[in-house]
Structure 1
């Protein structure tokens, strides 16, 4: 859900001059916003169900919206691997301490502001935030996804924060992995993919904890496949970006959506209660991974003239959009339901979207930006978050 600005095409083996150049790809900000929209539609359907008979395609797209989270994971791994490879090319090493400081300054301030802001709000608006010391501890230690995995979903506005726990767990190891060198890094990521699909098979064979709830969707080992995929793609491209006609890019996007629709409708890959066989699980999760990869390569290198400035901006503030949108959905569809009766679910969705964009924009300008400026002091390869 973050990162960077550049205008150059890199050769297969970028030298130190290229590695030190400013890196920013505005088209990937657009991809971030699209990933957020997928998640946004899923949460809308959670609280205001879509009539499948009347709106089959709307319903189908809402069902695959959960796969927006893997896109965030895939994109994050791709960008960070690219930046670390450039840093190593430019300096001969990777500054692990600076990496951790950059990630802390990027992720922690807004995360803790929203999480503990909801905890305080829960005192006057029950259901708004985590309501127990155990939840506070797990989410403070970025292990919130494991709490949900073994206990089930918690307060609705807090649930999406499980993905930040998975990302932070990835950030712990990636600078060390990147230090191994290309061949070792490829081997490690192939092993990670094998572990991920081993865990997927384990779930497909009937493992559930607690009884009746599948913790598959929030299990770190399941989602590590997307980080491995993003890293492998970055290593394969070596700084290059596809120079394709816009029609080819549209075709790849169509293929990605088709892969996701099959994963959901045929293979049963769901966020809550998957009912897939081993074969369906392996095929379905593979299609989710393939869809995320296709979306990234279809977007990477898109000419500036095809990138509407408002979408680039919305992608830049997508972190705030992601953390806050679920609260506004809950507020509109749960707490304000008596006042919105008869207006329809679409009105509530528009209200929630408008409030989310407004709040995320204010947070980005007034709260996130000072930390991003401080973060640049620890940047070895100039980029833009």
Structure 2
């Protein structure tokens, strides 16, 4: 992501003058890690590399970045521009999504990919309803496009700015974080209803009302103990980092279905709170790795990689005379990268410049990259 110069950020309330949103290189590395996990998992290694963990990292990162940006806007203006927020989401998310759907539809129409997509399923993919339409009604859309996680995010962000403004108008950031924590408990209870009352071991992974706590945990870090906004935030000690890594590993290693579809996501959210805090403080070798230019570029392309990678893997796998999904995944690296680079150059970057003209508040330089990061998956 390129960096744009900006104007100095000035807040209206002296009590929050320290708030600003600089570019955070570590988050580029974390975004690259997340999309890397998903890509490898979809390359036939799902039993070894947990793709769901990559999605959860995306959710947490998105909640942290967007809520941090909302705090900056609220501190400066005393309110939130809903028009600006939703328009930025529209022009960030929809053009790459719809163009990629057209690309996959062309592969199906020419017979390069074998599929018979349901029109209702395709419409659900385009309108962020696929996680419910596919799960509840079995209407499958275009192949190789796992858009359920994008649907979860868009459902969440349709309502969250309204909730954020209401809570921040009537309370403090710390108390808003408490309310987000309460919502996390509610979501956990909903998963338990699915699993223990309805004996549903499949749908909780995909449905918005059973997965948004992974985003909410990121929101909590943005509201409480946020080191990026210049606050006196908690810095995890190595022991806490080791415990969080151990807990994260445990959530991957334990295969018991009831555990996996209930408390797994809660433990992962708490663990990521610690690990993201540590990453945001990281200096030395860890900070250098996370800010690596290669990881930065992968993070820059991560949204389009997410949209197209699985379709390209399937396309290659279907046309290999002899080969595995792993071989298809290796071959898919280059065309996926090329597609993402092209999409960035001709679609995402031009629209990114236009989106920033919608900003109704001034931000600390260099917000350009951070703003686009917040609008990513």
TM-score band, normalised by the shorter chain?
Answer: 0.7 to 0.9
Q: 2:277 maps to what in 1?
A: 297
What TM-score, normalized to structure 2? Answer: 0.81
Q: How has the CA–CA distance of structure 1 residues 40 and 206 changed in structure 2, closer, same or farther, with 3 Å as cutoff?
A: farther
Does the alignment pair 1:202 with 2:185?
no
- Which whole-Å deviations, capped at 9, do the CAs of 1:123-180 have from their partners, x for residues lacking one? 2237567712211222232111111221458467444211111111111112112212
Cα offset for 1:5? Answer: 8.5
2:258 is aligned with 1:276: yes
Separation (CA, whole Å) in 2 of partners of 1:299 and 1:129: 42
Q: Does 1:222 find its partner at 2:206?
A: no
Aligned partner (choices 121, 129, 148) of residue 107 of structure 2: 121
**Superposition pairs of residues 61-140 of structure 1, within 5 angstroms:** 62=49, 64-125=50-111, 127=113, 131-140=117-126
Query: What per-residue deviation string (whole Å, max 9, x for no partner) do you get for residues 329-351 of structure 1?
Result: 11222x1221x54xx65543321
Matching of residue 361 in structure 1 with residue 361 in structure 2: no
Q: Return 131-140 or 221-230, whichever deviates more.
A: 131-140
Per-residue CA deviations over 1:298-324 (Å, capped at 9, x if unaligned) read: 321334644211111111111011111
Q: Which residue of 2 aligns with 1:55?
A: none
- Structure-to-structure mapping, 1:144-223, within 5 angstroms: 144-151=130-137, 154=140, 157-180=143-166, 181=168, 182-183=171-172, 185-205=176-196, 207=198, 214-223=202-211
For residue 252 of structure 2, what is the aligned residue in structure 1? Answer: 264
> Structure 2 vs 1, CA of residues 222 and 347 (structure 1 numbering), >3 Å: closer, same or farther?
same
The answer for unaligned runs of 5 or more in structure 1 is 51-58, 269-274
Q: Classify the secondary structure of the residue corresponding to 2:60.
A: helix
Q: Comparing both chains, which one has the higher relative contact order based on Cα–Cα distances under 8 Å and sequence gaps of 6 or more?
A: 2
- Does the aligned pair in 1 maintain the 2:21–2:69 contact within 8 Å? no
CA displacement 1:61-101 (0-9 Å, x = unmatched) = x1x23111111111111111111111111112111111111
Q: 1:136 to 1:311 in 2, by over 3 A?
A: same
- Whole-angstrom distance in 1 between the partners of 2:70 and 2:288: 29
**Number of aligned residues:** 347
Q: Which runs of 5+ in 2 are unaligned?
A: 373-377
